[in-house]
């Protein structure tokens, strides 16, 4: 089967150009200005054609919490958001801390085949921060990296050994960097808004200290550390300094942290409750600058689905987290519209850099011979993000039932059309 994309405006991290794309046998067979034909043809006139998004940070809740999300529903939401490769975190039940659990996730995903699912194993058994997992066995089973995301590894000696162990297998650690002694009991960013609302605060210093420690351990062990969901301007400065000193550190930012600020908490909407919390406008502006200047390497969703009953309760008892697979594109396009970043930056942050960090040389750009993971974006499409659009089992997002602009019109995975707005194709 051949698939032809015609009249494409192709966006890579370093170039934009017009051409036609011919896809055959899961790969990009040709990129040409000559006329092409296929068994199926998609006219991409006035649309942007980008490499599929690689989301380095999702929570699919499978196994154990399938009432929130499972691998099947998470994959459907992913392709609806233009995401073709997903890295699910290990905080399932049981925890993904052994090769058998990793194999379960890989095999369950293979039956559906909408996305490539590359599990992140836990750093420690049961995510208790004490005993390291058998990383070699888990990597053979399909894991790609290791993280106790949701919990920091508090013991610096354990974290040091984890970095050394992962490095020995050619892998790396993804860190939820936080000093839990400082953040314990907090609900929102510590500052003026926490004072006004009376909600207990999480000081940004808790993130800053965690990031500094992890970077120092990376320098000590000469191993790669990837910092999750950076939200603090000081943490970002620390990362920037470390990069200047050639410490092997990379980092990510989430759409909710570059789109919302702590002022959203003034009406006590629990859908804005997350960890790390939404920070100040100054923090937000620094994050956007970091995306543009290269300090921030990746945009990742930290897609964290929760049942309605876990959000529509008293603020202090509400779960942390927000779904984000289908809001990544519209929130990022808002930055493009506001001239904060351009589409080439978007590709760099969502496809090219993740492919390099993960050593996935077969994707991350639209080139002849690469895997045909491609999305066609309609930048001007307006729609209501509701039950007819949302493919997740959960709806814990403050943008739910609001009008969004910009979407993945088509998602192509390994040459197969797996999504067409607004209907899922399986």
Helices assigned H by DSSP within 260-379: 281-293, 328-337, 343-347, 353-357
Q: Which of 311, 206, 211, 215 is nearest to 269 (CA)?
A: 311
Strand partners, 250: 226
The answer to whether the peptide bond before residue 94 is cis (omega within 30 degrees of 0) is yes
Task: Report the run of H or E that residue 164 belongs to, with start and end.
Answer: helix 156-168
Measure CA of the first residue to CA of the last residue in the chain; give whole Å. Answer: 17
- Between CA 318 and CA 335 the distance in angstroms is 30
Read off the DSSP letter of residue 270.
Answer: G
- CB neighbours of residue 403 within 10 Å: 10
Q: Which entry of 62, 302, 345, 378 is annotated as an active-site residue?
A: 302
- Where residue 420 falls (left for φ over 0; alpha for ψ -120 to 50; beta otherwise) is beta
Q: Which of 98, 94, 95, 74 is nearest to 86 (CA)?
A: 74
Q: Helix or strand or coil: residue 43?
A: strand
- Between CA 395 and CA 216 the distance in angstroms is 38
The answer to whether the peptide bond before residue 76 is cis (omega within 30 degrees of 0) is no
Reading the block at residue 242, the tokens are 């470390």
Is residue 90 within 8 A of residue 62, CB to CB? The reply is no
Strand partners, 111: none
Token pair 């979407």 in the structure block, residue: 407
Q: Establish whether 302 is a catalytic residue.
A: yes
Is residue 93 within 8 A of residue 62, CB to CB? The reply is no
Long-range pairs of 361-367 with CB within 8 A, sequence gap ≥ 24: 363/51, 363/52, 363/54, 363/84, 363/85, 364/13, 364/51, 364/54, 365/12, 365/13, 365/51, 366/10, 366/11, 366/12, 366/21, 366/28, 366/31, 366/49, 366/50, 366/51, 367/12, 367/28, 367/31
Catalytic amino acids? 302
């Amino acid at each position: 089967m051949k698939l032809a994309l015609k009249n494409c405006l192709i966006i890579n991290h370093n170039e934009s150009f017009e051409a036609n794309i011919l896809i055959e046998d899961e790969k990009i067979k040709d990129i040409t200005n000559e006329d092409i034909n296929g068994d199926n043809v998609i006219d991409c006139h006035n649309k942007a054609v980008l490499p599929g998004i690689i989301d380095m940070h999702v929570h699919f809740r499978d196994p154990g919490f399938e009432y929130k999300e499972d691998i099947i529903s998470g994959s459907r939401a992913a392709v609806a958001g233009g995401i073709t490769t997903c890295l699910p975190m290990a905080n399932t039940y049981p925890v993904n801390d052994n090769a058998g659990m990793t194999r379960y996730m890989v095999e369950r995903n293979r039956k559906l085949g909408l996305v490539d699912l590359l599990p992140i194993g836990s750093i420690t058994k049961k995510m208790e921060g004490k005993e390291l997992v058998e990383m070699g066995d888990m990597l053979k089973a399909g894991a790609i990296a290791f993280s106790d995301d949701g919990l920091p590894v508090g013991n610096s000696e354990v974290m040091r050994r984890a970095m050394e162990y992962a490095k020995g297998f050619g892998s790396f650690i993804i860190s939820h960097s936080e000093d839990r002694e400082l953040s314990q009991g907090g609900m929102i960013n510590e500052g003026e808004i926490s004072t006004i609302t009376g909600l207990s605060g999480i000081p940004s210093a808790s993130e800053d200290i965690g990031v500094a420690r992890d970077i120092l351990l990376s320098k000590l062990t000469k191993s790669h550390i990837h910092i999750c969901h950076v939200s603090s301007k000081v943490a970002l400065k620390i990362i920037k300094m470390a990069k200047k000193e050639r410490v092997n550190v990379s980092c990510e930012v989430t759409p909710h942290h570059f789109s919302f600020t702590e002022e959203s908490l003034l009406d006590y909407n629990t859908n804005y409750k997350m960890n790390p919390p939404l920070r100040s406008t100054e923090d937000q502006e620094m994050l956007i600058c970091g995306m543009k200047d290269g300090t921030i390497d990746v945009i990742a969703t930290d897609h964290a689905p929760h049942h309605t009953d876990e959000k529509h309760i008293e603020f202090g008892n509400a779960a942390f987290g927000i779904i984000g697979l289908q809001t990544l594109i519209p929130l990022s396009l808002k930055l493009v519209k506001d001239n904060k970043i351009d589409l080439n930056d978007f590709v760099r942050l969502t496809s090219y850099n993740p492919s390099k960090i993960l050593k996935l040389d077969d994707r991350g750009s639209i080139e002849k011979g690469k895997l045909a993971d491609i999305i066609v974006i309609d930048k001007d499409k307006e729609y209501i993000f509701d039950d007819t659009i949302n493919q997740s089992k959960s709806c814990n997002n403050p943008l739910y039932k609001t009008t969004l602009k910009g979407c993945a019109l088509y998602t192509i995975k390994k040459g197969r059309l797996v999504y067409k707005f607004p209907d899922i194709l399986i």
